[in-house]
Amino acid sequence: MNRDLGDYRKSYQKQELVEGNVSDNPMELFQKWFHEVDSNYDVDETNAMTISTIGLDGFPKGRVVLLKKYTYEGFIFYTNYESEKGRAILANPNVCLSFFWPSAERQIIIKGKAEKIAENLSDGYFESRPRGSQLGAVVSNQSQIIKDRSVLETRLKELEQQYEGKEIPRPEFWGGFIVKPVEIEFWQGRPNRLHDRLRYLLDEDYNWQLDRLSP
C-alpha cells in the first residue's frame, strides 16, 4: 500500500483571529466560538472533542467524547471510571482536549487537569439520559475484552427485565470528569498557512496571559 496525499490542499480564508477582538478570559472566547459554529456551520456534533490521556502503558491515546457542559471552571464529560480512559485519568490527571471544526477552519486545544465531579451532579445527568443510554452504561464493562456482541445483547435483555417499571440507578463506576484548563489555544486558519494562533496561559496567580504563537 502506497498512497501519496501530498496534493490534498485547502486554502484557509474564512475568518481572522486578532488580539483586539478577544476577551481576557478564554472561556468567554470558547463560548463565542462554540455558539458561532453551532449556529452558522454544518457540524453534526459541535460538542465532539478528542481527549488525549497518558495510558497505564505509557503511551498517549486520543479518542472522541462528547462535551456535556462547560463553565468558567472547566469542561465536563461523562464516562466509565473503570474504562481504559477513566483509569488513565485517575492515574495521571493531565489531559488534552481538542475541538476541530473544519467547516469554520477552527481548532481549540486545551491542556488541563481532570478530576471527578460531585456524585450528585453525576446522578442528575444520569437521570436525564434516555433509558437506553442508562442501561447501556450499566451493561458495558467498558474497554474489557468480550467474546462477541451477544454478551452485550444478552445482558441488555436481562437488565431490561430487571428494571422494567423501575428507575435505573447510576452505577458507581460511571460519572463525570471536569477538565480544569491551564492552557487554551485558539487556532484560526488563514491564507498561505500563516494561521492565527492565540494562546491563553494560566499563571501562578490564576490570571490568564495571552500570547500570539507563530504558525
Active centre residues (catalytic):
193
Q: Give the DSSP H or E segment for 98.
A: strand 94-101
- Angle of CA points 173, 53, 119, to nearest 5°: 30
Give the residues across from 117 on adjacent strands. none
- The CA angle 5-49-172, to the nearest 5 degrees, is 140
**Which residue, among 150, 22, 138, 141, has the nearest Cα to 83 in the 3D structure?**
141
- Name the grid cell of 164: 422494567
121 CB-side CA count, 13 A? 11
Measuring CA to CA, which residue among 78, 84, 80, 77 is closest to residue 61? Answer: 84
CA distance 129 to 97: 23
